[in-house]
Amino acid sequence: MIPPETLPMHLLMAMMQSGFSTGASNAWSGSSNDWLNSWMKFMPRLEHPVETQTKALLSEWQNLAEQNAQLLKSLLGKNDNSSAFFDPQFLQSLSEQAAQQTTGFLEGIQSYMGASYERPEKKYRVLWKKGSARLLDLAPQETDGVAILCIPSLINKFYVLDLYPEASFAEYLVSQGYRPLILDWCIPSDAEMDFSCADYISAYAIPALQTLRENHDGPIALLGYCMGGVFAVAMAQLAAFLVDALLLLATPWDFSAEDTPRILLEPSAQMMLRNSIASMNPVPNVIVQTMFHLINPWHVQKKYSAYPLLSAEEKKHFLAVEQWVNDGVPLTQKVAEECLVDWPQGNMLASHQWKIGRKWIEPESIKCPTLCVIPEHDAIVPKRVAEPLAKMIRKSDVMYPKSGHVSMVAGKNAKKELWEPLAKWLAKRF
């Protein structure tokens, strides 16, 4: 398997954890810092460009760990018993726990890297295409029933909605007689390098919706996932006559909420971030992934540590999801600035400052039946970030699946928590 592009960052964090505790332990034993060798034995397995970066990090942290050991030895030599932190027994316990966690993470990464997974090949009928975008039709024969136009995020590829046969939200919808279609944004080409979110909506999303309307006799429901939900809100307002229902899955809106995952930056830091983004076009996926990982930095260590303990079927699912997570796409400069700065830092969506063409986007104007799906355990789009949007839309129902951001659509309980309730909601209305 290809390692995540953010692997050096996670190895660095693990080294911070392991280096400190090992340094503390060695300060007491007087032994040298030989933990570098145990790290290095894993490196030949990382056949990826991150290998060179990681080896450099290891070398740097060997020096820091040695400095740390000397500092601790100096502090401990003062025999200051006023602080429990410097108690030898406490430090030994800390060292053992950190070593155990770090070893579990490394063993998990090693096991993951040695695994292989290929997403099953699948041919899609393309109903519409323009620039880099294309509209995939999974049930072209269902022209009289309910069509569900799925709008995924620009950050990751579409196939989390169609992961593999046993874990495919799209295929479940087909089995229930619906006509799911997925707007595949693909990787931005030269033609899209100057695109903003508004450009993607007006130049691609709405024309794709219009084409579907021309080729479908039944109702059309828009389904937006995460960032795609923000796009779907705009589409439901700007092309209201084409939309019969709106389905919003984990859609962010109000970044001033108490549980928002953002870190509010000072104006000077915001300007630095803008300048950094302005120096790249497109903005590499690793930048975006790093921002998301910083929401819960230790989650990656935890999930890879658990990987070797999974059953064969669970490992298959883990690999499929991780392939998708690590298979992100770059963002155009303007899109990156909007979703990384304007939306979270300026809270432009909730403050009605987002404009497409000459129209301000106002969810209050949406009149079609709407279902807002807000996962209980979503760390990417927490409940209070999504709930204000549901309150703005007059004809909205809210559903709270007991799942996370990704497990909602592709987890082992996704069928029970999302697929079936969503299908039942649609069946009551059409």
Distance CA 421, CA 340 (A): 32
Instruction: Kindly give, in sequence order, each residue whose CB lies less than 8 Å from that of residue 194, ignoring residues fewer than 6 positions away.
Output: 332, 334
Strand partners, 359: 356
328-351 in b/e burial notation, b at 16+ Cβ within 10 A? bbbbbbbbbbbbbbbbbbebbbbe
Q: Which two tokens stand for residue 280?
A: 């790249």
**Strand order from edge to edge, sheet including 370-373:** 125-130, 133-137, 179-184, 147-151, 220-225, 245-249, 370-373, 396-399
Beta 179-184 vs 133-137: how paired, if at all?
A: antiparallel
- Please state the separation of Cα 219 from the chain's center in Å: 31
18: helix, strand or coil = helix
Give, for all 430 residues of the chain, the pLDDT tens digit. Answer: 766 766 666 666 666 665 544 443 443 344 434 444 444 444 444 444 444 554 555 455 455 555 555 555 565 555 554 454 556 666 566 566 666 677 777 788 888 888 999 998 999 999 999 999 999 999 999 999 999 999 999 999 999 999 999 999 999 999 999 999 999 999 999 999 999 999 999 999 999 999 999 999 999 999 999 999 999 999 999 999 999 999 999 999 999 988 887 777 788 888 988 998 999 999 988 888 877 777 777 788 888 889 999 999 999 999 999 999 988 899 999 999 999 999 999 999 999 999 999 999 999 999 999 999 999 999 999 999 999 999 999 999 999 999 999 999 999 999 999 999 999 999 999 9
Listed residue (190, 127, 183, 180) closest to 154, CA to CA: 183
Distance CA 157, CA 319 (A): 16
pTM comes to 0.83
Q: What angle do CA 372, 377, 382 make, to 5 degrees?
A: 60
Q: Which two tokens stand for residue 128?
A: 């519409």
Listed residue (249, 241, 242) closest to 220, CA to CA: 242
The pair phi, psi for residue 186, each rounded to 5°, is 60, -175
Listed residue (12, 42, 41, 17) closest to 111, CA to CA: 42
Distance CA 187, CA 165 (A): 24
